[in-house]
Structure formats: structure tokens, C-alpha cells
């Protein structure tokens, strides 16, 4: 489904120590780009940065000035270097817990490890930020859960005032 009501711009930020050093090929970021492009979203920014909380915050703040949607991949787990949700929560104006809850709930149908994801989502200014896990399989599974609500969420964030009922 392509979104015809508005043009959506996006950034894909991959959080990976190994990926940022060229020690691992990033498959999650390209998967996000492909899925978003398939529904008509224009990708303006793609980056790979290390698992550094302050750097993640700095990049999120800067990128939110340029796009409607930021999707992060990686750093949502339990290891000491997994700080993406922590950084994200610190830059949000409003959290949207239902996005993470929906992704975890659907993920539980495939693996009990889904409950270990700390992925966060919310709004900074007029930009929607969503954290996804780092593995390409989890990226595809999680993004497919929320893909059909992204345009509606962005319309509402930008002030569209029609009723939400279907």
C-alpha cells in the first residue's frame, strides 16, 4: 500500500559497534529502507553509528529536524552496550508505548525472546521515532507489525484533525 495523502520522509539509523567499524555487514538497515520504499516513503538519511548513548541522542536530535520518521535498528536488547531505547526515551517529547507493545506481542507468536526487547517509540517535535531490533529477521517481523499505522501516526503528529475511527 502506498500512502497518497502525504509524502513521508524517513531516516534509518543503524546502531552497531561492529557495523560502524566495518566488522559486520548491516542487513537490518537496508531491510528497513526496502520495506519503507515499497510503501512510498522517501529515505533521506541512512547512517551506521556505534552503541554510544550520547552519540545516539545527538544524531536523533539532528535527524529529527529533517524527516517525518526515524527508524533505528539495533541496541534494543539486554547487553550492557544496548542503549538505543535509553537514548531514544531521553530525546522524546511523548512516548508511544503501544508501538513497542504491539511489536513484542506479535513477536511472542514466533519466539519467547521477543519479551526481552526494550524497543521504544515516540515523538520528538513533529517526528516519529521507532526502535527496531538489529537482526534482519526481527527488523522485518517488527516493522511489518506497524507499517500500516505509520502514515496515520505521522498525519496526527503533524496536526491532521480528522477523526481516527475507521
Q: Is position 163 within any domain?
A: no
Give mean pLDDT, residues 9-37.
97
Per the model's pLDDT, the better-predicted residue between 23 and 161 turns out to be 23
71 with 120: CB under 8 angstroms?
no
Whole-number pLDDT of residue 22: 94
Q: Is position 141 within any domain?
A: yes
Q: Which domain holds residue 87?
A: 9-157
Q: How many domains is the chain built from?
A: 1
pTM equals: 0.94
Q: Is position 3 within any domain?
A: no
Q: What is the CATH number of the domain that holds 26?
A: 3.40.980.10
Whole-number pLDDT of residue 166: 57
- pLDDT greater than 70 at residue 73: yes
Give mean pLDDT, residues 116-123.
97
150 with 128: CB under 8 angstroms?
yes
Whole-number pLDDT of residue 29: 97
- pLDDT greater than 80 at residue 65: yes
Per-residue confidence band for 164, with pLDDT thresholds at 50, 70 and 90:
low
Q: Is position 79 within any domain?
A: yes
Q: What's the order of all strands across the beta sheet hosting 9-15?
A: 42-49, 9-15, 69-73, 127-132, 121-124, 94-95
Give mean pLDDT, residues 49-57.
98
Give mean pLDDT, residues 63-84.
97
Give percent of the chain above pLDDT 90. Answer: 92
Q: Is position 86 within any domain?
A: yes
Q: Is position 17 within any domain?
A: yes
Q: Is position 99 within any domain?
A: yes
Radius of gyration of the chain (CA): 15
Task: Please state, in angstroms and as integers, the Cα–Cα distance from residue 4 to each residue in 8, 100, 110, 152, 162, following that order.
Answer: 10, 26, 32, 11, 16
- pLDDT greater than 80 at residue 4: no
Give percent of the chain above pLDDT 70. Answer: 95
Cell numbers representing residue 28 in the block: 537490518
Whole-number pLDDT of residue 160: 81
Whole-number pLDDT of residue 161: 76
| Three-state secondary-structure class, residue 124 | strand
- pLDDT greater than 50 at residue 1: no
Distance CA(63)–CA(45), nearest Å, equals 8
Q: Is position 132 within any domain?
A: yes
Amino acid at each position: 500500500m502506498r500512502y497518497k495523502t502525504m509524502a513521508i520522509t524517513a531516516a534509518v539509523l543503524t546502531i552497531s559497534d561492529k557495523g560502524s567499524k566495518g566488522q559486520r555487514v548491516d542487513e537490518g538497515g537496508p531491510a528497513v529502507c526496502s520495506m519503507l520504499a515499497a510503501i512510498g516513503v522517501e529515505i533521506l538519511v541512512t547512517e551506521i553509528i556505534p552503541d554510544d548513548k550520547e552519540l545516539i541522542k545527538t544524531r536523533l536530535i539532528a535527524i529529527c529536524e529533517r524527516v517525518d520518521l526515524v527508524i533505528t535498528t539495533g541496541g534494543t536488547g539486554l547487553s550492557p552496550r544496548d542503549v538505543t531505547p535509553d537514548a531514544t526515551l531521553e530525546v522524546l517529547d511523548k512516548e508511544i508505548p503501544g508501538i513497542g507493545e504491539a511489536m513484542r506481542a506479535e513477536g511472542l507468536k514466533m519466539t519467547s525472546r521477543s519479551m526481552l526487547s526494550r524497543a521504544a517509540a515516540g515523538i520528538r517535535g513533529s517526528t516519529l521515532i521507532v526502535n527496531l531490533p538489529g537482526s534482519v529477521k526481527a527488523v522485518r517481523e517488527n516493522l511489518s507489525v506497524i507499517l500500516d499505522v505509520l502514515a496515520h501516526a505521522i498525519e496526527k503528529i503533524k496536526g491532521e484533525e480528522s477523526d481516527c475511527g475507521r
